[in-house]
Amino acid sequence: MDSKSPEGEHPSVTLFRQYLRIPTVQPEPDYGAAVAFLEERAHQLGLDCQKVEVAPGHVVTVLTWPGTNPMLPSLLLNSHMDVVPVFQEYWTHDPFEAFKDAEGYIYARGAQDMKCVSIQYLEAVRRLKAEGHRFPRTIHMTFVPDEEVGGHRGMELFVQRPEFRALKAGFALDEGLANPTDAFTVFYSERSPWWVQITCTGKPGHGSRFIEDTAAEKLHKVVSSILAFREKEKQRLQSNPHLKLGAVTSVNLTKLEGGVAYNVVPATMSASFDFRLAPDVDLKKWMEPRITGTDNSDPWWAAFSGVCKDMNLTLEPEIFSAATDSRYLRAVGVPALGFSPMNRTPVLLHDHDERLHEAVFLRGIDIYTRLLPALASVPALPHNS
């Protein structure tokens, strides 16, 4: 374990809190300060640093630790820089102060989602380099913008760039979720977001009449049908204790639009729905999510789960119920696992008083310090040789 700082705080925790204080909050994240912070880390660690501007003001920062066999596909450690907005009046402490209470809980937006993982990657690499290790596979750490608003000016564009292809990613780790039990959650797939707006047209007229074939009547049938499907999926989840949320398709009516006045029957009305499609939904090919292997015949899973077994960590493999940047990686053929090493911790991403205990954070560095050597030493796979 590293030495303590003069104030008695672990230097890794100090660095974590420093990163949390950078207000990379949507809708106007300070990406410039975050990139400068990461460039400084690269300089201190002796890592190559590449900045790829995928959209104006949206930079993907890549820190690289070369492997001894650069011909092998690399290990990609991904995290996002941005965090979701806050309602400051509901917070016990300033969400960008990174306040640490007497018990060791660090309160900050991004404490769980996912600035903890970014620093855990960096600190695990720092430890391993300081100990003189080298591994066959190159390790790339990517820090991407805009994940919290869909990744459309972040990972979605980056995976199409020649700079991404040059990384030769063979396997990736990305974000997961806290687990309130002793176990650690690991995500091998995720539901696909599908946002649908349905617009119905009908006969307009005066609000005092029984007009036939109105837009509202047509929309009512559509809404009723989709909400009936929602109830069916909800019942399927509730009736089967073995199913998790990610295994069923959720849908919610999120917007209703139409009309100009109380006494005018509108010619058009629309409803917007947020679908989260389970991986087994047979839809158009471009929407089908990839599934990362989770049996021991898969060398990546064998390396990952083997370390966890050696450390007596219980894993709970699941399908992620929301969406992360992993979907863009899987879509271009890079297997990815979503993993944030936080157990005995309530799930507080996007919530008021988001916080993480410093002991859980430090334990995560220990876990990555064991995971990275195993994953970066996976032998050449048959199709790579």
Among this protein's residues, is 147 annotated catalytic?
yes
Phi, psi of 219, deg, nearest 5: -65, -35
Among this protein's residues, is 325 annotated catalytic?
no
Report DSSP letters for 338-352, one per residue. Answer: E----BS----TTST
* 3-state DSSP assignment of residue 379: coil
* 3-state DSSP assignment of residue 68: coil
Q: Are 45 and 63 in contact (CB under 8 A)?
A: yes
Task: Please tell me what DSSP assigns to residue 344.
Answer: S
Q: Residue 300 to residues 177, 303, 333, 379: CA-CA distances in angstroms?
A: 20, 5, 14, 10
213 CB contacts (<8 Å, ≥6 apart)? 202, 203
Q: Are 152 and 145 in contact (CB under 8 A)?
A: no
293 CB contacts (<8 Å, ≥6 apart)? 188, 300, 301, 335
- Quickly tell me which residue has 């049996």 as its tokens: 295
Catalytic annotation, pick one of 113, 147, 156, 174: 147
Active-site residues: which are they?
A: 82, 147
